[in-house]
């Protein structure tokens, strides 16, 4: 072992040893692992001083791009696949429950409470659509009173927080409570594929690596119910562009749903929507909550 490699190894060991006074065991474990992997990365790539300064500048710009309505660090985590990796690690063993996926960077504001059947598309311009289904426990039991947080981009692919001068606050968002049979339904427009924001550091990273910024058409959901573990998920529009190349790696086959063309005047009247319309039907299945710590 050379003198240089010995000193490098000792440096890593010294930093890890300096963490021994950390009183929280999990924090100590995380910081020690982060130190080892970060030092290993620098050794493996022979990282230069200029490259490290550029990396610090990139992270600084990422933080400076964050606002109350934009989370560039979440976007960075998404495009590097870390968000999906962490989500997948923590959702292993979901069994027959609905698969989870990323939260995304636009769950930034509280969704307005809406009645079942309400229209979350406040600006129009898209193809009318009804989304309906049930929230169920894994054993098939309906979950009345389950809460469903919903958000999506408009027909042009923008969220309300991206266009405050165009879209009213809460457009494309709704907080619904299932009925006595665990059912939910609401009106909206068929979502469109859209690019994630590219005017910040993450966009520069995508351009530098020759990657496109597009996400397939989707609607976000968080479903929760008493006694059950909540699930954060999407449904993706079957046949949408970019299903096989989602910029944030979030597509799962079980979450791709048909937004079927429906020509049914009586059903359209029941939903209060022009006929014909598109109709997406799906159920959200929740796992029972894990037992709490024993006394």
Cα 87 from Cα 72, distance rounded (Å): 18
State residue 294's pLDDT score. 55
Q: In the chain, what is the greatest distance between 2 CA atoms, to the nearest angstrom? A: 82
State residue 295's pLDDT score. 44
**pLDDT at residue 4 tops 70:** no
Cα 69 from Cα 148, distance rounded (Å): 21
pLDDT tens digits, one per residue of 251-276: 999 999 999 999 999 999 999 999 99
pLDDT tens digits, one per residue of 72-113: 999 999 999 999 999 988 886 667 899 999 998 888 788 999
**pLDDT at residue 1 tops 60:** no
pLDDT tens digits, one per residue of 103-151: 988 887 889 999 999 999 999 888 999 999 999 999 999 999 999 999 9
């Amino acid at each position: 072992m050379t003198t240089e490699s010995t000193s490098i190894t000792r440096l890593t060991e010294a930093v890890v040893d300096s963490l021994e006074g950390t009183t929280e065991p999990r924090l100590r474990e995380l910081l020690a692992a982060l130190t080892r992997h970060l030092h290993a990365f620098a050794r493996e790539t022979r990282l230069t001083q200029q490259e490290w300064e550029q990396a610090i500048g990139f992270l600084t710009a990422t933080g400076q791009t964050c606002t109350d309505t934009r989370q560039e660090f979440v976007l960075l985590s998404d495009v590097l696949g870390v968000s999906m990796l962490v989500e997948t690690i923590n959702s292993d063993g979901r069994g027959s429950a609905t698969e989870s996926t990323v939260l995304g960077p636009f769950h930034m504001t509280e969704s307005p409470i809406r009645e079942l059947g309400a229209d979350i598309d406040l600006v129009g311009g898209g193809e009318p659509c009804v989304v309906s289904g049930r929230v169920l426990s894994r054993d098939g039991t309906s979950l009345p009173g389950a809460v469903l947080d919903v958000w999506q981009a408009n027909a042009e692919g923008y969220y309300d927080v991206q266009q405050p001068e165009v879209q009213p606050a809460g457009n494309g968002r709704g907080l619904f409570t299932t009925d006595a049979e665990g059912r939910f339904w609401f009106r909206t427009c068929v979502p469109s594929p859209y690019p994630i924001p590219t005017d910040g550091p993450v966009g520069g990273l995508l351009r530098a690596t020759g990657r496109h910024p597009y996400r397939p058409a989707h609607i976000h959901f968080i479903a929760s119910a008493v006694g059950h573990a909540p699930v954060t998920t999407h449904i993706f529009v079957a046949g949408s562009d970019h299903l096989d190349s989602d910029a944030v790696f979030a597509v799962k086959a079980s979450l791709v749903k048909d937004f079927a063309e429906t020509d049914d005047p009586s059903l359209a009247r029941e939903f209060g929507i022009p006929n014909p319309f598109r109709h997406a039907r799906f159920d959200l299945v929740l796992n029972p909550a894990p037992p709490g710590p024993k006394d």
